[in-house]
Amino acid sequence: MTQRLVLIGFRGAGKSTLAAELASRLTMEMISTDVEIERRTGTRIADFVVQNGWEEFRRIEGEVIAALPRERVIIDCGGGVIEHPDNMRRLRENALIVWVDADVEDIITRLTGDNNAHRPLLSASSGVSMAEDTRSNYARRKPLYEQWCGVYVNTSQNSLEEASKHIIETFTTLSH
Ligand code: S3P
């Protein structure tokens, strides 16, 4: 029986907002892998990546994912969890995987807003703009999100109400 809701998707697509809405509607606990990482390291992700690099970040992200509860819970994943298949095999256990997508230009608009300045660039090459970094990494990752997607919502085309209703309908069917 499916008991977990796992939200994947590119940074800025709206995972956290949707995860909170679902947690409220379903009266379920919500766990953010990013929050767990910052709790474990005692450091903001952007600072941790600058100090330790992406490889060490992904290692800790994998530890957090391995330690997540397998019972009734909503998991708000960082945008890069699809980079390692082992992560996704663990996340898929007892879960419906939700791909929270958005049009890439909307993602760029959201990420270039002031309240997203804390997100580090994904590309190691210096001088890349957030827009270029987003377009190239979104294109590279899209097939991976598609591969693991159990149910799809697009926050550029669906309201929060429409997206959460669609997810709950699918989850309710699978969790009974
Ligand atoms: C990342 C996305 C971030 C965070 C880290 C890496 C990525 O999470 O895990 O900056 O690789 O796309 P959000 O998707 O919640 O921003």
Mind listing the pLDDT tens digit for each residue in 108-129?
999 987 566 567 889 876 688 9
CB 79 near ligand 1, within 6 Å: yes
Locate 3 and state its tokens: 């008991």
Q: What is the enclosing helix (H) or strand (E) of 134?
A: helix 130-148
110: helix, coil or strand?
helix
Contact between 75 and 91 under an 8 Å Cβ cutoff? The reply is yes
- Distance (Å, rounded) from C-alpha 112 to C-alpha 12? 10
Atom of ligand 1 nearest to the CA of 13: 14
pLDDT score for 119: 79
Report how far residue 28's alpha carbon sits from residue 170's, in angstroms, rounded to the nearest whole number.
16
- What Cα–Cα distance (Å) separates residue 39 from each residue in 10, 15, 35, 44, 121? 22, 19, 6, 9, 21
Parallel, antiparallel or unpaired: strands 151-154 and 30-32? unpaired
Give the pLDDT confidence score for residue 125 in this predicted structure.
67
119 CB within 6 A, ligand 1: yes
For position 166, what pLDDT does the model report?
A: 98
User: Is the C-beta atom of 45 inside 6 A of ligand 1?
Assistant: yes
Judge if the beta carbon of residue 34 lies within 6 A of ligand 1: yes
Q: How many whole angstroms from 172 Cα to the centroid of ligand 1?
A: 28
Distance of alpha carbon 57 from alpha carbon 41, whole angstroms: 10
**C-alpha to C-alpha distance for 98 and 154, rounded to whole angstroms:** 10
Q: Find the 3 Cα to ligand 1 centroid distance in Å.
A: 24
> Which tokens go with 6?
């796992």
Asked if 9 contacts 145 with a C-beta cutoff of 8 angstroms, the reply is: yes
Residue with CA at minimum distance from ligand 1 atom 12: 79
Question: Residue 4: what pLDDT?
Answer: 97
Residues in the chain with pLDDT < 50?
Answer: none
